[in-house]
Amino acid sequence: MGSTGSVSYPAALRELRYYHRALGDVTRLRIVQLLATEGEQAVSEIARRLSVSQPLLTWHLHRLKRSGIVRAERVGREVRCSFDRERFAELAEMGGRLLFNAASVWAIPGRTRMTGAGK
């Protein structure tokens, strides 16, 4: 889902759908805000800080990881999460370009333009 290699128009739309769905929930917005402002956190610490059960937090983190804006890494017995600023900015820019001019989505480095009747 990153910016390497060619991505088709439907794949780009799918990436944007995951991104916007990930941000479409108050709990997930709170998770992103916590990680963006305070840096990497253990899952147990995020759950404690946001007063969310760990199973529910895991479900929300799955949505955020699928969108690519949150990364998770196992360190010993704990899972640590971090906010991927580059990915967040890339998806925000792609979404903005799509709103104003669908063709300009392909101006992002590493992306290819769609050709033919499907433009």
Q: What is the mean pLDDT of the chain?
A: 84
Span 63-86, pLDDT tens digits: 999 999 999 999 999 999 999 999
Angle, helices 43-50 vs 26-38, to 10°: value is 120
Average of pLDDT values for 101-116?
A: 52
Average of pLDDT values for 14-31?
A: 94
- Rounded Cα–Cα distance for residues 65 and 61 (Å): 6
14 versus 85: the higher-pLDDT residue is 85
Whose tokens are 């479900």? That residue is: 59
Check if CATH label 1.10.10.10 holds for domain 9-100.
Answer: yes
Domain positions in the chain are 9-100
Question: Is residue 6 a contact partner of residue 115, using CB atoms and an 8 Å limit?
Answer: no
User: What is the band of 3 on the pLDDT scale with cuts at 50, 70, 90?
Assistant: very low
Average of pLDDT values for 4-17?
A: 73
Span 31-52, pLDDT tens digits: 999 999 999 999 999 999 999 9
**Interacting residues of 119 by C-beta distance below 8 A, sequence separation 6+:** 102, 103
